[in-house]
Amino acid sequence: MKFDIDNPREKDLTTFQRLQLQINGDVAVGKHTRQGWSGDLTFYAFRCQKHGLVCDYLHGHWETLSCPKCVDEKIKAYELEP
């Protein structure tokens, strides 16, 4: 079964992945390609303090993970188009 990056559930992680998540704070869940992308990126599951388990890919030079739900909330707060 392929891990659903849009609706991550801890029960879909393997035991080893759950252990990695607990120790490292994030865990790679596979390579995925979004519509309009020319290639795939590795997505990571991690915990957001507000939204729980979420998935995202590494961003920018510092390769940071951001909760996509928090980002969407910030965009809506500033009334910008996503």
Q: What is the pTM of this model?
A: 0.87
The DSSP 8-state label assigned to residue 1 in this structure reads -
Q: For 6, phi and psi rounded to 5 degrees?
A: -85, -20
- pLDDT at residue number 81: 56
Q: What is the mean pLDDT of residues 14-27?
A: 96
38: left (phi over 0), alpha (psi -120 to 50) or beta: alpha
Q: For 33, phi and psi rounded to 5 degrees?
A: -120, 125
**pLDDT beyond 60 at 5:** yes
Q: Are 48 and 70 in contact (CB under 8 A)?
A: yes
Q: Are 64 and 70 in contact (CB under 8 A)?
A: no
pLDDT tens digit string along 35-63?
Answer: 999 999 999 999 999 999 999 999 999 99
